[in-house]
Amino acid sequence: MSGEFTYIACEGPIGVGKTTLARALGAALNARVTLEESEANPFLRHFYQNPKRYAFQTQLFFLASRYKQQLEIVQRDLFHQTTVTDYLFDKDNVFATVTLSDDELRLYHHIAALFPAGLPKPDIVILLQASVESLMARIRKRGYDFEAPMEVDYLRTVVETYNRYFFDYTAAPLLVVNTDEVNVAADPVELANLIEQLGRHKHGTQYYVPVARKSP
């Protein structure tokens, strides 16, 4: 199946399991995995403590970092036919819309327009979804100290913005996966089912609901 795709992007709100799934797909498909450099962003910790003051710096770091990674995707690894990422480059504008003031957003768009076009487009996007309650529980469970100040209202806004953005997304085939009950990356059967579903999905938007299995 991996030969059918050169670029698979995993997306979804904070805490939904994008990175875990990207790594699992990379291992299953013998693909190169490119992960967002969240922990390398020196402003992210400050952003969660004081969003208004640090939103613009945080966003510009992510814009530059994601752009650099996208350029590297163009230069494909000779030993891997497929690249899997835990983000879609377009998400940068999604988060900018959530975090920046009107003046900051205008400046952000001005700066973003200076970046040359021609970035790679994914062959398929996997959108992971979960309720705000599930996401917050996962964020608290993983215990990243810089995420501790995150408020539920902010997370709810992120989820709503994602839903609006992907409601009429047409840039690539979109596979929407509900993760409230099942961690697909941790379930070998469901991971295999998801990969099979990817191979069959050629256009438009489709939905996949994993099956929760009882532990033996």
Residues labelled as active-site residues: 86
- CA separation for the pair 203, 16 (Å, rounded): 24
**Counting every residue, how long is the chain?**
216
How many CB atoms neighbour CB 41 within 10 A?
19
**CA–CA separation, 3 and 199 (whole Å):** 10
